[in-house]
């Protein structure tokens, strides 16, 4: 299921998202144009028009490019017949994200996916960004494909900082309440600042 794959790919604990996600109905299969319009919703407005989008061809079950982009972000469309979940990450994270998708397609399961990726980061096979890299997500709620309106969804913002720790950033490594940043997976290649906005 793409939702669980996305959560793992984005390095968010699935239980965290499940606990935060409001109840929502599955989204019926969307046209490619609707997938593109909805996939970029998590992004600030100025990044939407030029974002690359991965989505689903009619009847397809694998993420494939459905729009090229010259901008700084790649967005992932909601899986057909799953609860709404769109995510956009900075392109500097693409080697890490793409490798996660390819490993899962090969049948590699978590946490082995990260074991492989961490080793490849250490060997230099996967290049990680030297600067913070953003990820934006929206999940749950109710999506109207005719108006591209999303209501009742939850937001989650992430800033990847490979190797970051409490000592290097001054941020706690313990899960924090909504509105308070904290570091998840500290000291690892996928260390990132988590920030769940207050409702």
Q: How many helices (H) and strands (E) does the chain have?
A: 7, 10
User: Domain spans of the chain?
Assistant: 2-195
* CA 76 – CA 97 distance, rounded (Å): 11
Q: Which two tokens stand for residue 171?
A: 């941020």
pLDDT digits (tens, 9 = 90+) for 87-101: 999 999 999 999 999
pLDDT of residue 23: 63
Query: 11 pLDDT band (50/70/90 cuts)?
Result: very low
Q: Which of the pair, 23 or 11, is modelled with greater confidence? A: 23
Reply yes or no on whether the pLDDT at 18 is more than 80. no
d(CA 174, CA 53): 33
Which residue has tokens 């017949």? 81
The pTM assigned to this predicted structure is: 0.89
**Would the pLDDT of 1 be above 80?**
no
Report the alpha-carbon distance of residue 26 to residue 139 in Å, rounded: 11
Instruction: Give the tens place of pLDDT for each residue, 120-144.
Output: 999 999 999 999 999 999 999 999 9
Rounded mean pLDDT, 149-158 = 96
- Please tell me which residue, 199 or 67, carries the higher pLDDT value: 67
Digit-coded pLDDT (tens) for 53-108 = 999 998 888 999 999 999 999 999 999 999 999 999 999 999 999 999 999 999 99
CB 190 within 8 Å of CB 114: yes
């Amino acid at each position: 299921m793409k939702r669980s794959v996305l959560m793992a790919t984005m390095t968010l604990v699935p239980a965290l998202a499940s606990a935060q996600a409001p109840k929502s109905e599955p989204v019926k299969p969307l046209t490619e144009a609707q997938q593109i319009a909805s996939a970029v919703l998590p992004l600030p407005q100025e990044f939407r028009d030029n974002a690359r989008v991965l989505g689903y061809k009619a009847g397809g079950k694998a993420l494939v490019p459905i729009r090229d982009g010259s901008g700084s972000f790649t967005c992932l469309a909601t899986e057909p017949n799953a609860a709404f979940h769109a995510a956009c990450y900075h392109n500097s994270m693409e080697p890490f994200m793409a490798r996660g998708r390819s490993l899962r397609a090969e049948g590699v399961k978590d946490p082995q996916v990260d074991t492989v990726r961490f080793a490849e980061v250490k060997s230099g096979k996967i290049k990680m960004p030297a600067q913070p890299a953003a990820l934006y997500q929206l999940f749950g709620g109710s999506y109207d494909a005719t108006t591209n309106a999303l209501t009742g969804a939850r937001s989650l913002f992430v800033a990847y900082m490979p190797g970051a720790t409490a000592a290097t950033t001054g941020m706690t490594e313990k899960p924090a309440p909504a509105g308070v940043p904290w570091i998840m997976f500290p000291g690892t290649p996928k260390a990132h600042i988590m920030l769940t906005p207050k409702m």
